[in-house]
């Protein structure tokens, strides 16, 4: 793991193109360990960041906007000497990846939007953020994770749930609260989807109750040339629940953009 003046990150492997991983809420870069290992076997360099407030970046000052997180990620690429990367963002990481595409389009070689949405929060969703902010303050981050019941399909593997719960419990409540506020206030990214000009894959679990396939379809229709991949039986954390299928989508995109 490297720690620059900004984000902590893990830079692994070698080769081109580079795959950049941006984690979901409320976790850190460790949620991508399956993908990092899988891509390493195919000579793919990966960079996985801990967003400010999470993991080894927990002590950084809070970021108040998705744009600030995107700028942080762009700085990591610059620090690593990477001109362009395939950005992979799941859920909250997808919000950051979309902001990266808008603010730093020259940094992208490809884009994977997994179990996420382009639209901003509805009033109902904003109320839910407020409830989770109080949960984080009074009960800790694991209580926030426990409230995400619709993220998982009814037949979810208990080992996967416990793995992710443990990862959430390790997070700093202050960072989680700042992220909840950031997500609550983020802008609608839908109007800028048509400006994305890199190969894009939109992944969604068929049983994702937080960001269902209907929202993935909106992004797929709006991004020129985007392809949608529905992973049957998976919920919100497709990279954990169906890692082999998720990894195959990544490898196919890597091969598509890899220099010949």
Within 13 Å of residue 184, how many CA atoms lie on the same side as its CB?
18
Write the DSSP symbol of residue 52: T
Q: Residue 123 and residue 170: Cα distance in Å, rounded?
A: 29
Query: 108-137 burial, b for 16+ CB within 10 Å, e for fewer?
Result: bbbbbbbbbbbebbeeeeeeebeebbebbe
Judged against a pLDDT cut of 90, whether residue 1 lies above it is answered with no
pTM: 0.96
- Virtual torsion, Cα 85, 29, 179, 75, nearest 10 deg: -40
pLDDT band at residue 43, thresholds of 50, 70 and 90?
Answer: very high
pLDDT band at residue 3, thresholds of 50, 70 and 90?
Answer: very low
- Residue 222 and residue 126 in contact, taking contact as beta carbons nearer than 8 Å: no
pLDDT of residue 4: 45
| Mean residue pLDDT across the chain | 95
Give me the domain span that covers residue 190: 2-257
Name the 3-class secondary structure at 99: helix
pLDDT in tens, 190-231: 999 999 999 999 999 999 999 999 999 999 999 999 999 999
Domain harbouring 234, CATH code:
3.40.50.1820
Judged against a pLDDT cut of 60, whether residue 240 lies above it is answered with yes
pLDDT band at residue 46, thresholds of 50, 70 and 90?
Answer: very high
pLDDT > 90 fraction of the chain, expressed in percent and rounded: 94
How many structural domains does the chain have? Answer: 1
- Residue 145 and residue 119 in contact, taking contact as beta carbons nearer than 8 Å: no
């Amino acid at each position: 793991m490297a720690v620059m003046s900004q984000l902590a990150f893990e830079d692994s492997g070698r080769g081109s193109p580079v795959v950049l991983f941006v984690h979901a809420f409320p976790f850190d870069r460790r949620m991508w360990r399956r993908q990092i290992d899988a891509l390493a076997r195919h000579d793919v360099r990966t960079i996985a960041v801990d967003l400010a407030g999470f993991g080894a970046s927990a002590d950084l000052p809070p970021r108040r906007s998705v744009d600030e997180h995107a700028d942080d990620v762009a700085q990591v690429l610059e620090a690593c000497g990477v001109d362009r990367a395939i950005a992979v963002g799941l859920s909250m990481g997808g919000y950051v990846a979309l902001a990266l595409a808008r603010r730093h389009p020259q940094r992208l070689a490809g884009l994977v939007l997994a179990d996420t949405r382009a639209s901003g929060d509805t009033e109902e969703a904003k109320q839910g953020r407020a409830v989770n902010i109080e949960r984080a303050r009074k009960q800790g981050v694991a209580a926030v994770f426990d409230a995400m019941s619709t993220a998982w399909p009814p037949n979810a593997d208990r080992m996967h749930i416990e793995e992710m719960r443990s990862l959430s419990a390790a997070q700093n409540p202050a960072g989680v609260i700042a992220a909840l506020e950031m997500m609550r206030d983020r802008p609608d990214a839908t109007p800028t989807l048509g400006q994305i000009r890199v190969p894009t894959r939109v992944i969604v679990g068929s049983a994702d109750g937080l960001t269902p396939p209907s929202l993935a379809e909106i992004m797929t229709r709006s991004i020129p040339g985007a392809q949608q991949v529905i992973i049957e039986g998976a919920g919100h954390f497709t990279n954990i629940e169906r890692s082999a299928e998720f990894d195959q989508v990544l490898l196919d995109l890597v091969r598509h953009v890899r220099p010949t």
